[in-house]
Amino acid sequence: MKTIICQEPGKLEIVQSTVPRLSAGHSIIQIEKVGICGTDIHAFDGTQPYFEYPRILGHELAGRILETTPDSNLEKGDLVTVMPYLNCGKCIACRKGKTNCCAQMQVIGVHIDGGMRRYISVPNHLIIKENQLNIQQLALIEPLAIGAHGVARAHFVAGDFVLVIGAGPIGLGTMEMAKVRGATVIAMDINPNRLQFCKEALNIPYTILATAEDSMDSLRTITNGEMPIAVFDCTGNLNAINCAFEYVAHGGEYILIGLQKGDIIFNHPAFHKRELTLMSSRNATIQDFEHVIKNVKEKAVNPEKYITHQFEADHIREAFKTCTSTSSAVIKVLVDFSS
């Protein structure tokens, strides 16, 4: 079967590998579409934490059941997506229901080989059957669930101003899930094209260009001088993360969805006097996936809006080049393994 391996930073190879055999408690998924995520891009450029090479990338997966075991609720031909987080079920986080941050977490496509191949064996309990959605929608459920989990961490109420920094797919999903909960969303990014997408495609009422000299003044004006009660970083950029501490309202929350390798630095007195809360948001839970799927079915969220480019698997290098280009106006790239 066709398999794409990231051998080392900057090097992708297309090889032929053995089709996996069906094993107890697993199903074989015939992969149709794989989304390229920021995690994949960081792995490709060598800046992804928790990563070792060589690795088969890919954790935003959509496909069809090829084979399954008698004890599953799946049938051949079912349309599925995958919750790509293998948790131990025994550590303190798992025992508390926080399976998304298991102490022994293994993420498909990061810690273990992922789905950029024609067939993959996945534990049945991580497979989500959804025949009412199409393949392209299913490929976007996981990144939307990441945003949904970050939003679930915050305590804002309907009408509150929230700021989402970074208008990539994770940031867009965070904006949409915050809107579903009733927030007044402000989008911030360094790319004016992406901010225009926020306005036109997602109906985000306020956008701010991060590089503008008056960006802080704009934020104060929009929020009537109070600043956003919740700020979400979806950039994974160290400078952006450090700067955003200034954006949070008194008594507010700062949620880090993006991830980078460096140390966070902030002014303690400024943080302390506002009694801010700093939180990380890692992966997602089954409840987040179910929440996203419900909203896609109800047409409150349309993930297909995000898809700007699609490539055949044979053109994977061009796909990654497009993702990293500053001039391609890319939002979400899907890789097609169906041919």
What pLDDT is attached to residue 170? 96
What pLDDT is attached to residue 49? 75
Angstrom distance (rounded) from CA 5 to CA 200:
37
Classify strands 277-280 and 253-256 as parallel, antiparallel or unpaired. parallel
Long-range contacts of 43-52 (CB under 8 A, 24+ apart): 43/6, 43/9, 43/110, 44/6, 44/9, 44/10, 44/12, 44/320, 44/324, 45/9, 45/10, 45/324, 46/9, 46/10, 47/260, 47/261, 48/110, 49/259, 49/260, 49/261, 50/107, 50/110, 50/111, 51/110
What pLDDT is attached to residue 327? 66
Query: How open is the CA angle 191-295-189, to the nearest 5 degrees?
Result: 10
With a cut of 80, say whether residue 13 has pLDDT above it.
yes
With a cut of 70, say whether residue 32 has pLDDT above it.
yes
Lowest mean pLDDT: which of 34-43, 46-55, 125-134, 158-167? 46-55
Angstrom distance (rounded) from CA 279 to CA 300:
27
Q: State both tokens at 245.
A: 């501490």
Mean pLDDT, residues 43-63 taken together: 91
How do residues 115-132 score in pLDDT, each as one tens digit? 999 999 999 999 999 999
Q: Is 58 helix (H, G, I), strand (E, B) or coil?
A: coil
> Taking the model in full, what pTM does it have?
0.95
Share of the chain above pLDDT 70, in %: 99
- Indicate the pLDDT class of residue 46, thresholds 50, 70 and 90: confident
What pLDDT is attached to residue 328? 65
Return left, alpha or beta for 254; rule: phi > 0 is left, psi -120 to 50 is alpha, else beta.
beta
Q: State both tokens at 322.
A: 């497009």
Mean pLDDT, residues 80-102 taken together: 97
- Indicate the pLDDT class of residue 79, thresholds 50, 70 and 90: very high
How do residues 233-290 score in pLDDT, each as one tens digit? 999 899 999 999 999 999 999 999 998 888 999 999 999 999 999 999 999 999 999 9
Lowest mean pLDDT: which of 82-96, 126-140, 325-339? 325-339
